[in-house]
Amino acid sequence: MMTNRLAILAFALLMLARSAAASTIQIGSAAALGANDFFDWGQVRALDGSGSAIAQPSPENVTSSLGRTASVSDSGSLTGLVEGIDWFGNFTAGETVLYSGDVNDPAAAASALAVNFNTAVRGVGLQITSAGFLDFGASLEVFNGATSLGLFTVSGIMTGFEDGSAPFLGALSDSSNITRAVFTLTSNADFGLGVNRLLTADSPGTPPVEPGPAVPEPGTLSLLAIGAAGALVRRGRRPLR
């Protein structure tokens, strides 16, 4: 009996040591993340009859290129935009952008986006920017359930040059234990934030496996949009127009 108890105690201590050794590090580029999957925000993009982007209610269910499902949310609404068409920031022209608000009411935009994964990932990352011009700060906090695995920060400058220079903000764990990622503007947050597609990484050689049928994409969404241009440009502070 004593031998069994000692064996159980040794096993518990081993598991505790492994847990304590678990680590999550900040990743500063897509190449360093080593992603094998992504969520494209074209599936959140919706247009009205005149071809202008319209906001969608939060949360939105989204599906990755490999069939992983997740939900993305903020405190209000979400809008799918396209760099060079109805978003003018520092992503690469033609990229789909997720905006944390409604282009018709940017002052009410949220300062944070949360992504909840239905199956855990090892790493996450994307490029991020403020919707307001000039300097901004941003953070990424990743979680396993309710437990924080790390908080990471980055700074950048929004110029509207469409040059792909928006800073990359990512995190990589030593196991597939990230179930939630929260991207937040820590400064210059008055008009919300924009992000390009979300990259995810799994453990090497381990493709995502979904429990049950995948959540379908919200709609068929990819036409051009131009709405809310003049009013937003006149403000002179935001890449939306």
Give residue 170's pLDDT: 98
Give residue 229's pLDDT: 35
Using the predicted structure, report yes or no on whether residue 226 has a pLDDT greater than 90.
no
Give residue 241's pLDDT: 53
Among the residue ranges 19-33, 73-87, 88-102, the one predicted with the least confidence is 19-33
- The answer, as to whether pTM is greater than 0.85, is no
Using the predicted structure, report yes or no on whether residue 221 has a pLDDT greater than 60.
no
Using the predicted structure, report yes or no on whether residue 14 has a pLDDT greater than 90.
no
Average pLDDT over residues 199-204: 90
Give residue 211's pLDDT: 43
Using the predicted structure, report yes or no on whether residue 223 has a pLDDT greater than 70.
no
Mean pLDDT over all residues of the chain?
A: 84
Helices (H), the chain: 2-21, 30-33, 229-235
CA atoms of 123 and 102, how far apart (whole Å): 29
CA 24 vs CA 3, 142, 151, 152: distances in Å:
36, 9, 9, 10
- Considering 3-7, 47-51, 228-232, the range whose residues carry the highest mean pLDDT is 47-51
- Architecture of the 24-235 domain: Sandwich (2.60)
- Considering 93-102, 212-221, 226-235, the range whose residues carry the highest mean pLDDT is 93-102
Pairing mode of beta strands 134-144, 147-158: antiparallel
More confident residue, 204 or 237: 204
DSSP 114-158: EEEEEEEESEEEEEEEESSSEEEEEEEEEEETTEEEEEEEEEEEE
Give residue 239's pLDDT: 57
Give the residue extent of every domain in the chain: 24-235
